[in-house]
Chain A
Amino acid sequence: MSYDVTFQRRGLDALFDLKGRAGAIRGWAGDTLPQLPDRPNTRSSGGEVEVYYVGCDHWLARAPLDQEEMLEAQLQPATCPVEISIVRVSDTLSFFRVTGPDAPEVMAIACPLDLHEAAFAVDAVTYTEMFGLKALVLRCTGGFEFAVEQSFGDMVEDYLTRATV
Chain B
Amino acid sequence: MLLIPCPLCGKRSESEFIHGGPVGADRPDPNAVSDAEWVDYLTVAPNPLGPVQEKWWHARGCGEWLTIWRDTRTHDIVEAPDGIK
Give chain A's interface residues, CB within 8 Å of chain B.
40-41, 54-56, 58, 112-113, 126-129, 132-135
> How many pairs, one residue from A and one from B, have CB atoms within 8 Å of each other in the complex?
43
Contacts A40-B62, A128-B61, A129-B60 given; does A56 touch B8 at CB 8 Å: yes
Residue of A nearest to B64 (CB): A56
Contact with A along B17-38 (1 / 0, CB 8 A): 0000000000000000000000
B63 touches A55 (CB 8 A): yes
Chain B residues 33-85 with CB under 8 Å of chain A are: 59-64
Interface residues on B, range: 10 to 19
A55 touches B64 (CB 8 A): yes
B12 touches A128 (CB 8 A): yes
Closest 10 pairs between A and B when the two form their complex, measured CB to CB: A112-B13, A55-B62, A134-B60, A40-B8, A55-B63, A129-B60, A127-B61, A112-B15, A56-B8, A129-B16
**Residue B8 contacts which of A55, A134, A135 (CB distance < 8 angstroms)?**
A55
A56 touches B60 (CB 8 A): no
A126 touches B63 (CB 8 A): no
Sample 20 A-B pairs with CB under 8 A, ordered by A number: A40-B8, A40-B9, A40-B62, A41-B8, A54-B62, A55-B62, A56-B63, A58-B62, A112-B13, A112-B15, A112-B16, A113-B13, A126-B9, A127-B60, A127-B62, A127-B63, A128-B16, A128-B61, A129-B60, A132-B15
B63 touches A41 (CB 8 A): no
Q: Report Cα–Cα, A132/B15, bound state, in Å.
A: 8
Q: Report Cα–Cα, A54/B12, bound state, in Å.
A: 14
Q: Report Cα–Cα, A113/B62, bound state, in Å.
A: 14
**Which residues of A are found within 8 Å of B59, using beta-carbon distances?**
134
